[in-house]
Amino acid sequence: MVTISIPSDSYITCSHAGSFSADSCTPGGASGIGLAIATRFAESGAYVTIADMQSEAGTRIAAQLTSQGHAVTFAHCDVTDFNSAAEAFKTAVATSPSKTLDVAALIAGVVGEGGSLVDQVVKAQAEAGDGAGERVPLKPRHPAMDVNLLGVYDCTYLALYYMNLKSKVAGEGAAHGKGEGARTKSLILISSTAAYTDIPMFSDYQTSKCEFRSFPQPSNAGDISKGNPTPFHL
């Protein structure tokens, strides 16, 4: 999923604090898997936007890659904030020569709340003491679902939205898969072995990855392909 023979024009990689990073746009591109993907695309000639909560690291990395002759931009992005994510995608499109988006690598991910859901119930009841049956229980924490599932779901929506826009540059042809000059689009999502095996002590993380697997192939959004690699098996 990293190697490309023909450089994409626009690419974005997206990330979240404590996690990993089109045109190309990469939410989660300031560290880990996202950084590796963003760097490889940049070295292949893509116009890359790294979107991440780690502003200092992201800005530094973008500057380093730019100094090496690559076209890389950084945009602050919190995938749990729809407006923040949307601004990152808008940045990717704005810095693209074709004013459209070709590739989105959505790498944002966190481990989330430890323990099983039953563990959270037992803990909440213990903290409530004798009044457990009279009080409204504390809302369970689920940062992994907030980032890995809902945040990435929103970014998938944004990626498809901007990929489906027609190029504003004369001579670029159709924006997605039809007509002369058509551009191939790619959506890269990162799965986990947790989506295929039971991990009872990490209900939050496993639920986020199991549901994540069900993201449909975007067959009705033009010529857009979806890849969902599992890093451990690769």
- Nearest-10 crossing angle of helices 82-94, 152-163: 30
Q: Does a structural domain hold residue 88?
A: yes
Is the pLDDT at 182 greater than 80, yes or no?
Answer: no
Whether 178 is catalytic is no
Of 19-28, 59-68, 150-159, 209-218, the range with the lowest mean pLDDT is 19-28
Among candidate residues 47, 96, 203, 209, the one labeled active-site is 209
Q: Is residue 164 part of a domain?
A: yes
Cβ proximity of 99 and 169 under 8 Å: yes
The span from the CA of 56 to the CA of 217, in Å, is 35
Q: Is 55 helix (H, G, I), strand (E, B) or coil?
A: helix
> What is the domain range of residue 16?
10-227
User: What percentage of the chain carries pLDDT values higher than 90?
Assistant: 26
Active site residue 153: no
- Domain-located, residue 1: no
Residue 118 lies in a domain: yes
Catalytic residue, from 11, 47, 162, 205: name it. Answer: 205
Structural domains counted in the chain: 1
CB 106 within 8 A of CB 155: yes
- 4 in any annotated domain: no
**CATH, residue 177:** 3.40.50.720
Is-catalytic flag, 47?
A: no
Nearest CA among 101, 81, 132, 107 for reference residue 22: 101
Pairing of strands 24-27, 47-52: parallel
Mean pLDDT of the chain: 77
Residue-wise pLDDT tens digits, 36-76: 888 988 888 888 999 998 899 999 999 999 999 999 999 99
Query: Per the domain annotation, does 3 fall within a domain?
Result: no
Dist. CA 175–CA 166, nearest whole Å? 4
Q: Which of 19, 191, 203, 208 is catalytic?
A: 191
